[in-house]
């Protein structure tokens, strides 16, 4: 089977991580970027905003004040979705009405004191500080007896529901594994049992050999538009070495994680010359105090934009009720991302 057959014929593709299918309809848009690329106004951003609840020294809801931090800064979310000590609840009614307690800790982590600096425009040493912050949080929260999983994620842009442009992430520690993690862990475990190897190590090798969907890489990480990508410019960031978590990364790998994040987000911003919205997050081993040789550190980027800075993909209709579908092929998306300049459009002379 060759890739040419998939280029203009509607078909379906399998996601081995979630074990779900997606539908690809490349015949609908033979030339996906023929439409006008609209440039939206780049907001005038200031390094410090007196009204921002994340900037150093500012007041937050509930009266707390941020310290005058100079690197990264983590605090418990003032509007936490989960609480560390909620009242115990339980309901089990005929296998139909089921409910139970969910314990959690929700934190916010600022990448930088600068209100206007986003990942693509931060320096590699500044990004290293963010990586160190993630590792510290993973170790701190993950070592608690009741915490089974630590989810680190970033919502970027108003389109993804992020109301504040100050660069920050969220860290949610939970007493149960989240749904997506349950699925991926089960798939990776079953694959490891069947093949005596790691699903993502094998996939990494395959994508490296084929060179059809690789967007960028460095010595320790590779970013690919996965064969089964659902969002138009979805990417998967993979550690080249089999490590179960960010805490297992060695010194130079920690630097290079910052570097690869800068590479991929710069390409994203350059695509439509806007601050490209996305949800991204790391998947790594659960912290349930079990052994997880099947886990392989990776990150998913799920950006909603389709053809321009203002046209987004919606998951509606058949996608809500049936199977998700995409138009441009993952290969075409990878080619497009790969061809972009590596210097951020706002930093060009």
The token pair at 85 is 């000590």
Minimum distance of Zn ion from residue 317's CB (angstroms): 26
Range list of β-strands (E), 94-242: 97-100, 104-110, 149-156, 168-174, 214-217, 221-224, 235-239
Minimum distance of Zn ion from residue 27's CB (angstroms): 30
Nearer to Zn ion, 283 or 326 (CB): 283
Q: Establish if 55 lies at the interface with Zn ion (CB under 5 A).
A: yes
**Positions 280 through 299 that interact with Zn ion (CB under 5 A):** 283, 296
d(CA 143, CA 136): 11
Among 176, 242, 292, 344, binds Zn ion (CB under 5 A): 242
166 catalytically annotated? no
**42: number of CA atoms within 13 Å, CB side?**
13
Question: How far are the Cα atoms of 27, 181, 261 from residue 218, in angstroms, in the given order?
Answer: 34, 26, 11
Q: Establish if 149 lies at the interface with Zn ion (CB under 5 A).
A: no
Bridge partners of 172, per DSSP, are 106, 151
d(CA 62, CA 163): 18
Nearer to Zn ion, 245 or 270 (CB): 245
Nearer to Zn ion, 7 or 240 (CB): 240
| 254 neighbors 132 (Cβ within 8 angstroms) | yes
3-state secondary structure of 149: strand
Among 162, 198, 256, 337, binds Zn ion (CB under 5 A): 198
Q: Establish if 166 lies at the interface with Zn ion (CB under 5 A).
A: yes
Nearer to Zn ion, 271 or 297 (CB): 297
Minimum distance of Zn ion from residue 60's CB (angstroms): 11
Q: Establish if 115 lies at the interface with Zn ion (CB under 5 A).
A: yes
Interface with Zn ion by CB under 5 A: which residues?
A: 49, 52, 54-55, 115, 166, 184, 198, 200-201, 242, 283, 296
């Amino acid at each position: 089977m060759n890739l040419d057959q998939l280029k203009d014929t509607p078909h379906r593709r399998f996601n081995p991580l979630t074990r779900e299918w997606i539908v690809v309809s490349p015949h609908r848009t033979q030339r996906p970027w023929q439409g006008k690329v609209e440039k939206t106004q780049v907001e005038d951003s200031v390094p410090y905003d007196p009204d921002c609840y994340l900037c150093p020294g500012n007041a937050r809801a509930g009266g707390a004040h941020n310290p005058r931090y100079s690197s990264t800064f983590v605090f418990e979310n003032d509007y936490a979705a989960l609480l560390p000590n909620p009242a115990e609840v339980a309901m089990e009614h005929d296998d139909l009405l089921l409910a139970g307690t969910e314990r959690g800790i929700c934190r916010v982590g600022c990448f930088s004191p600068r209100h206007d600096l986003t990942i693509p425009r931060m320096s590699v040493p500044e990004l290293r500080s963010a990586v160190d912050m993630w590792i510290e949080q993973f170790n701190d929260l993950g070592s608690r007896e009741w915490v089974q999983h630590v989810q680190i994620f970033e919502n970027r842009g108003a389109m993804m529901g992020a109301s504040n442009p100050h660069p920050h992430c969220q860290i949610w520690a939970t007493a149960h594994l989240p749904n997506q993690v349950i699925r991926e862990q089960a798939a990776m475990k079953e694959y490891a049992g069947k093949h005596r190897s790691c699903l993502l190590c094998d996939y990494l090798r395959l994508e490296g050999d084929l060179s059809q969907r690789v967007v960028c890489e460095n010595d320790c990480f590779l970013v690919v538009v996965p064969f089964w990508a659902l969002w138009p410019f979805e990417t998967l960031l993979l550690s080249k070495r089999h490590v179960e978590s960010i805490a297992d990364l060695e010194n130079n790998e920690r630097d290079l994680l910052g570097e690869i994040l800068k590479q991929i987000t710069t390409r994203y911003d350059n695509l439509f010359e806007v601050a490209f919205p996305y949800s991204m997050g790391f998947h790594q081993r659960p912290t349930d105090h079990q052994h997880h040789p099947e886990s392989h550190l990776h990150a998913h980027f799920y950006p909603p934009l389709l053809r321009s800075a203002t046209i987004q993909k919606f998951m509606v209709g058949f996608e809500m009720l049936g199977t998700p579908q995409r138009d441009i092929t993952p290969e075409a998306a990878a080619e497009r991302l790969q061809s972009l300049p590596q210097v951020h459009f706002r930093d060009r002379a």
